[in-house]
Chain A
Amino acid sequence: MKIQLIEIAHARSGDKGDTGNVGVIARRPEYYSLLVKYLTVEKVKEHFRGICNGNVELYELPNLGALNFLLHKSLGGGGTISLKNDAQGKTLSSVMLRMELEIEEKHLNSEH
């Protein structure tokens, strides 16, 4: 079944120079394994094509039920150099949460 990431996760994003960071947090503890399984570096890199012009790095924080993505070369040079309206990557979280994922139904419980 197709779901949108926002149904199972929330997120906050920000900047470090020209790198955007997007923290993606499972809405329920049991959704964390879904994030790990479906929200891969490859999937995120593909989703952000045209926005992220560098590597994508992924770090896992199982204690918080969260993943941290670093999207390099995503902010038009970053900081004061950037000509982007969102030079600080504050809305990269929205871009992330809009992603559609094709997941196996058995992974979602009936309460979803």
Chain B
Amino acid sequence: MKHSIRIASGQGFWGDLQTAPLDQVRKGPIDYMMMDFLAEVTMSILQKQKMKDSKLGYAKDLIPLFEEILPDVVNKNITVITNGGGVNPLACRDAIFSVAKKLGIKGLKIGVVLGDDILNEIDSFAARGIAFDNMESDAKLASIRSNLISANVYFGAFPIVEALQQGAQIVITGRTTDTGLTLAPMIYEFGWQKSDWDKLAAGTVAGHILECGGQASGGNFSAEWKSVPDLAHIGFPIAEAHPDGRVVITKHENTGGLVSEATVKEQLLYEIGNPKNYITPDCIADFTSIRLKELGSNRVEVSGVKGRAATETYKVSMAYFDGYTSFSTLTYAWPDALEKAKKADEILRTRLKDLNLSFDEIRTEYLGFDSCFGPLAKSSGEMNEVVMRIGVRSHDKNSVERFGKEIAPLILTGPPSVTGFAGGRPKPSEVIAYWPSLIPKTAVTPKVVVEEI
């Protein structure tokens, strides 16, 4: 057994810093690189792409990325784990195999985790008594069933472990938890068992620290943001994991950013609920047990993590069509910038009302004044300029389209010194809403396929 492994974070979301995974494989030693691509509604966007073209439905950025990093990955024996397979991990694998062929790489094994996509089985599950009630609002699935676009089970680390055991050097999954991508190599390398709750929780905490990329290494850091060095060349976080569950968070030398107790604390607090109950498919981690210790420059030890038995259910991430939105902005200049913007809003709303359009919501915010602070915004004298930002939402597409035609006229028929209308009439966008629910673990089985080229 290895004494420690280095797991690097390569992407915190789809569209993250493109150079980060390159730096992780080139600027220092790592054993594994995990890349998280999937936010809550990403699967539905990918599902739509797959409906148009059966060869799509995964994070396309992965292909040019692998063209760049595959030689490094193979030469340095780095294992890459990503959930960027989206709703079509097999097509993603085939595209990476094509890259390998083009580069003349042989003997590469890619593992794929399948079985998370349950869209076509929803009704048969429902017939067997699985309700899929919305776990946040308790609403019934029937209320949105006809608008359902995607339904995916969140799998954990163990299907990835199976792929690693079969020799995969790249593992492509669909809807696997962000934390599972980091936990899996620890389970595999250190031989952790399914009931090693403290260790599984320790790996899960490490996963939470890595899953948002640079947010653990000096990005979006509120405590002392001015003191973070060279954010332009930020080094993404790396977890040095040990068999006993102890983890050291660090980053490559000669990179920018900062790993300190404070940067790690901010990431630990990010988007958590009850810290004693951080629930994943693999375990329940207790964030109140975490001990942090700065070991030196850009090295923070994470230890003491306690865990409890996993629950009997998987979370299911569903997405459904829920109407249309449209947004527009106009910029008003001194004098009386805010008054003018408010008057423009009043005029616009009057016109929309006269047209008898149907909206679920109209929201106006004044950027530069109150979009972050709402009613807590403080007036501080004369404003140089203010941006009126107005958004509408409706299930009636015509109303949303008509809204788009009412913005430009405000420039010549409303308050003066207004600019910033560019890009033509705002178009309606489809709203893809999120529906979280649960399914018994016994109802679904992940499937692992490993193939070699």
Chain A contacts to B: CB under 8 angstroms: 10-12, 14-18, 21, 23, 25, 27, 47-51, 59-66, 68, 70, 76-77, 79-81, 83-86, 90-91, 93-95, 97-98
In angstroms, Cα B374 to Cα A49, docked, is: 10
Chain B residues with Cβ below 8 Å from A10 are: 222-224, 262, 266
Given contacts A25-B265, A94-B372, A95-B376, whether A83 and B361 have CB atoms under 8 Å apart is yes
B269 near A: Cβ within 8 Å? yes
A70 to B274, CA, bound (A): 9
The listed residue (B273, B275, B327, B376) touching A16 by CB distance below 8 A is: B273
Contact yes or no, A17 B136, CB < 8 A? yes
Nearest Cβ on chain B to A99's Cβ, whole angstroms: 9
The answer to whether B375 touches A49 (Cβ under 8 A) is yes
Q: Which one of B52-60, B389-397, B417-425 is at the A interface?
A: B389-397
Provide the bound-state CA to CA distance between A60 and B274, in Å. 9
Compute how far the CA of A100 lies from the CA of B377 in the bound complex, rounded to whole angstroms: 14
A-B pairs with beta carbons under 8 Å apart, 26 shown = A12-B222, A15-B271, A17-B136, A17-B436, A21-B272, A23-B268, A25-B266, A25-B269, A59-B274, A59-B276, A60-B288, A63-B288, A63-B290, A64-B268, A68-B272, A68-B273, A70-B273, A76-B361, A79-B434, A80-B41, A80-B431, A80-B432, A83-B361, A83-B391, A84-B371, A85-B365
Separation in Å of the B221 CB from the closest CB of chain A? 8
New contact pairs (8) apart from A23-B269, A50-B376, A66-B265, CB-CB < 8 Å = A23-B270, A25-B266, A48-B376, A49-B375, A63-B292, A68-B272, A76-B361, A98-B376
Q: Which residue of A lies closest to B430 (CB)?
A: A80
Given A25-B266, A79-B434, answer yes or no on A59-B275 (Cβ-Cβ < 8 Å): yes
Taking the nearest CB of chain A, how far is it from the CB of B341, in angstroms?
A: 14
8 nearest CB pairs, A to B: A23-B269, A50-B375, A83-B391, A10-B223, A14-B271, A83-B363, A85-B371, A91-B372
> A90 contacts which chain B residues (CB < 8 A)?
220
Cα–Cα distance between A21 and B362 once the two chains are bound (Å):
25
Q: Which of A62, A63, A70 has the most CB of B within 10 A?
A: A63
Question: In the complex, which residues of chain B have a beta carbon less than 8 angstroms from the beta carbon of A48?
Answer: 376
The reply on B280 being an interface residue by CB < 8 A is no
Check: B152 CB closer than 8 A to any chain A CB.
Answer: no
On chain B, the residues within 8 Å of A98 by CB distance are: 373, 376
Residue on B nearest A50 in the bound complex, by CB: B375
Contact partner, A64, options B292, B374, B391, Cβ 8 Å: B292
Chain B residue numbers with a CB within 8 Å of A63 are 288-292, 304
Nearest residue, chain A, Cβ from B136: A17
Residues on the A chain within 8 Å of B266, using CB: 10-12, 23, 25
Taking a contact as CB atoms under 8 Å apart, the answer to whether A50 and B374 are in contact is yes
B40 close to A (CB within 8 Å): yes
B322 contacts the other chain (CB 8 A): yes
Interface: B433 (CB within 8 A): yes
Q: How far is the CB of B396 from chain A (nearest CB, A)?
A: 16
- Asked if B267 is an interface residue, CB under 8 A from chain A, the answer is yes
